[in-house]
Amino acid sequence: MKLHTGTKLVSLAAAAALTLSLAACSGPAASPTPAGGDTPPTGEPAAVYKVGICNYVDDASLNQIVENIRDRLAAIGEEKGVRFEVSYDNCNADSNVMNQIIANFIADDVDLMVGVATPVAMAMQAATEDNRIPVVFSAVSDPVSAGVVESLEAPGANLTGTSDYLDTNSIMNLILAADPEASKIGLLYDQGQDSSATPIAHAKEFLEANHIDYVERTGTTTDEVMLAAQALVADGVDAVFTPTDNTIMTAELSIYETFIEAGIPHYTGADSFALNGAFLGYGVDYANLGVETANMAAGILLDGSDPASTPVMTFDNGTATVNTDTCAALGLDFDAVEAAFAPLCTKVATITTAESFGELAQ
């Protein structure tokens, strides 16, 4: 289903104490921090709910999700007179560390776990087969294909959450709108990322149907991604497509100048890529994804919602975010780009190159 939300975030002075820690973890128990909740007027202690959040990797999109989950839980805690004791850790794409973090959450007897990105959701699913701790995932692009739910409408077990499903055909159409003569497209992704499998398959289907050549280059580390980017330049591609791939997202700051120097626009599946230098990011609002993930978690803990029957949320992902620095460096006229994109998306937004969204806000 398509969900259009207008959730209003409540600004809290107490939220300053909830600043997201992005330090790499080595598997120790996560340190809990309270999220909102004054003592009820009756004088009785506020109810406390323990929430464990595991982030897959330190990148702008996923960090934005976590920040908004924590802020929204703080706001709900204040509104409802309860406390959410949040434990957070980042596994930095290390499966051993990820499993240890999840084990720590279980040992700490958390009431609910939040898994940010597909690998974390899958690991939490495996870890809760016996204990059935509720899990709310976020940024799982294709939860059905990943096997974490039976269907979007009826997940069927102890997991539900929010999806950043990508409309790949829309990005392909944006590429052709900007360059109708494009004849070879590069596909840059990590073969080990489950979230990339479906959009890459859809991209190939689109390109084959439109008689456009494509070349695939993959990488599992930043160094490998840098080599893959250089190879795509040598391949003579007219544009490069990357879906919501966390490995490439982590490497974007290391590759965007390679594409700029070669005059190749990089089209991607999230605005965080554009933040880090890609020409275009197309997809969901990750801040809103975090807000709705927190709302789902609160619904399970406070209202008794059953994950098995709580539909996975999908969102309108029609915003095309253009990096105006990169646009200019590629020699493209932004007004012409905007005019070409406008009929094909909900909105054309702009951004400039930075390491994080917080840096832009300063």
Walking along the chain (362 residues) 10 residues at a time, the average pLDDT comes out as: 33 35 42 54 77 95 96 98 98 97 98 98 97 97 95 98 95 98 98 92 98 98 98 99 96 98 98 97 93 98 98 88 98 98 94 90 67
How is the chain split into domains, by residue range? Answer: 2-165+285-315, 168-283+317-361
Question: What's the CATH code, domain 168-283+317-361?
Answer: 3.40.50.2300
Size of the chain, expressed as the number of residues it contains: 362
pLDDT number for residue 25 = 39
pLDDT number for residue 124 = 99
The pTM assigned to this predicted structure is: 0.80
**What six digits make up the tokens of 295?**
């709302």
pLDDT number for residue 41 = 52
Selection from 246, 223, 237 nearest residue 266 by Cα: 237
d(CA 329, CA 338): 16
Q: What amino acid is encoded at 306 in this protein?
A: D
pLDDT number for residue 5 = 35
Query: Which class is 2-165+285-315 in CATH?
Result: alpha beta
User: Do the Cβ atoms of 32 and 73 come closer than 8 Å?
Assistant: no
| Shared fold status for 2-165+285-315 and 168-283+317-361 | yes
pLDDT number for residue 35 = 61
Q: Match 């128990």 to its residue by tokens.
A: 29
Complete DSSP assignment for 233-246? HHHT-SEEEE-S-H
Helix (H) or strand (E) segment spanning residue 229: helix 222-235
Selection from 249, 269, 266, 246 nearest residue 258 by Cα: 266
